[in-house]
Structure 1
Amino acid sequence: MTTAAEATPYSVLRAAILSLKLMPGEKLSERGLESMLKASRTPIRAALMSLANEGLTQRAGRGWQVTPIDLAEVRAVMEYREALESASVRLAVERAEAEELDALGDLARSHSDDEETVLREGGDFHVALARLSRNRFLADGMSGALTRLSRTRWLEVQSATSRAQAQDEHLAIIAAVTDRDAELAAERVVSHCRGTRERLLSHLDGERRRLRGRGFSIIESSTAPQPL
């Protein structure tokens, strides 16, 4: 967690966007952010450009905006995540140490009613699992995919049922890896990814009108998303 002493325009803006305190589609101006962040224009501009590289902000005319939630991109990133994680878990079956799997199990079993903690620990679980592949490109790809999905995942973790289901599925994946069953581990990862995708898209589709009423910008682009 970033402390007050470590806070930068980038870290503060990123946290506000990922937690939906700054709404998808919300207009941002460098001048307005100066007073909000108590920072000068140069670091604010640098922060906005860095966030644009992560797909969290984008140019809007002469200003900026928080990137709208794009349902087509959500589908594409979820497919990408599924491919990454199924490859990672097969390698983890071969390469992970027993102590590492025990630690991952402890992370999966942790319980919190705080949505921010649940979101962070859920992401930590998937990145840690990818790291057990001993392939940093797979781990980096997983981290990038989860960043792209953070805002939609935030909506999902607000449901206690979804949180409990995700925890059960995480533990089932670990059990298969611990048993060194690559096929079962990959099958459970794919099932988890697809189930999460369907829940997210169903929620966004069903709640689109209400979310738009709260100020969310939800779009369905007709073009392929840019690479991570």
Structure 2
Amino acid sequence: MQARQSAAASQVSDPGDAALQQEIIPCRVDQATFDGYKQVFRMEAMLDPEGYVKLRRARIHELEETIDMLETATPPQPIRLSGLQSTLEWVRKSMPPGPIYPPSEPAGLDPIIYYRLACLLASLETPIPFVEANKTNINAVIDAYRHGELKFHPNRVTFWWNGTLVEDLSYEEEGNFDYKEAIARWTETYGEGRLWKERISPPRKQL
């Protein structure tokens, strides 16, 4: 793995755990390595890096301790031992050590932004009318995230029209927003289009 970024290390609840501080920082890996890990675990690692790393550590520690015990157990339990060894190997191969991102993405972004990029890119591969109608907006949002122009704010939402950022609102402002007036104004300025609301739900804690 290449050198990890410095972003996100300050978010660790246990600053004394230097190894954890490093493991929660997103790391760029080659495409083959990236694809080798299960998508569900790649996404979980981006949503809650600290919780994910601690959970992975705990799973591995528990398996290793049980395997050590079974290796000297009397009477021997070869079937159970073999099963646990296979499970340990699967965990190590399927779960990345921490948040990772492919070489196609820029360095220096927050973990949750890499998560959102993966979601948006996956949506572009979904052939449904809603996605087709919003491709211009989705691609504009992806570009804004990649260039650091759009960041994660837990209580804000951005509005996009024809690939243009037209509003950046708090959730309270969104609730009182005059869509009819705004859509007429955007249509006059940017032409006919579709409205895309971009927001990221706050990460859920795994531990």
TM-score of the superposition, structure 2-length normalised? 0.24
Which is helix-richer, 1 or 2?
Answer: 1
Question: Bigger radius of gyration, 1 or 2?
Answer: 2
Higher RCO (CA-CA < 8 Å; seq separation 6+) = 1
Which is strand-richer, 1 or 2?
Answer: 2
TM-score of the superposition, structure 1-length normalised? 0.23
